[in-house]
Structure 1
């Protein structure tokens, strides 16, 4: 069964969820896991791609946009994650239809109230369907 983890930060503002996603993706790929990051749309995927190439200055996260190449970390926005089924990082406000195909799902929640509310709805969705759900406070 898919394990779902909510990563919570009290920080609010642009880029908090993306920074959390970088941390989780970096840790997962260093463990040899394949990561699929689900973005809102093509612009969001491109923005995330640009951010991942720039920061942090102390590390590199091997990644690619799904249609443009192969890498341990794939960024996409479509309805089909292809052959990916290991780790899903969801950066949208809805539960993707394909979430249950993955071994693990990571939900990023910042301190922004609108993101917290959307996160509560996703938490309820997973819990009501019997997914094992845990939370981690990241500060």
Structure 2
């Protein structure tokens, strides 16, 4: 069964959510996990793709867009959007409004909560969905360490 982690931030800005997502991706990559990051749109996915290249000067995270023909299967971090449903990954980082239909294929699912109405609404619905289906949920309150 997929383990689900909600990271709760005090941040309100979407950029802070993306920055934290970079940290999670880097941590998973360093732990040798294969990661899929899911967005609503191609624009969001491309923005995150660019952010990972410039995230930190001393960091390199091999990654690519699922829509790219050049993306190799052995690439550790895939970034996708919409109906793109990749095969099994160790970690699914969901930054989309909807829950990907294939979320249960992955060992872990991560959600990042910021204090913005639209994100709070969607992540609360996600939480309810997972809880009603009996998935193990772990809340990590980052507001304490922000």
By the TM > 0.5 criterion, same fold? yes
Pick from 93, 101, 106 the counterpart of residue 97 of structure 2. 93
User: How far apart, CA to CA, are the structure 2 residues paired with 1:11 and 1:59?
Assistant: 23
User: How far apart, CA to CA, are the structure 2 residues paired with 1:16 and 1:92?
Assistant: 15
For the pair 1:8 / 2:32, whether they are aligned, the reply is: no
- Residue 80 (structure 1) shift: 3.8
- The superposition leaves residues 13-43 of structure 1 with CA deviations (integer Å, 9 ceiling, x where unpaired) of 1312211211111111111110000011111
Give the match for residue 50 of structure 1.
50
User: How far apart, CA to CA, are the structure 2 residues paired with 1:74 and 1:54?
Assistant: 16
**CA-atom RMSD in angstroms:** 1.3
User: How far apart, CA to CA, are the structure 2 residues paired with 1:36 and 1:47?
Assistant: 15
Structure 1 length-normalised TM: 0.93
**Structure 2, gaps ≥5 residues long:** none
Pick from 132, 135, 140 the counterpart of residue 136 of structure 1. 140
Structure 2 length-normalised TM: 0.88
SS at match of 1:131: coil
- Residue 54 (structure 1) shift: 1.3
What are the equivalent positions in structure 2 for 1:40-119 lying under 5 Å apart? 40-68=40-68, 69-70=71-72, 71-119=75-123
**Structure 1, gaps ≥5 residues long:** none
User: How far apart, CA to CA, are the structure 2 residues paired with 1:81 and 1:56?
Assistant: 28
Runs of 4+ displaced beyond 2 Å: 78-85
- Residue 128 (structure 1) shift: 0.3
Give the match for residue 127 of structure 2.
123
Decide whether the 8 Å contact of 2:64 with 2:77 is kept in 1.
Answer: yes
- Give aligned pairs, total: 139
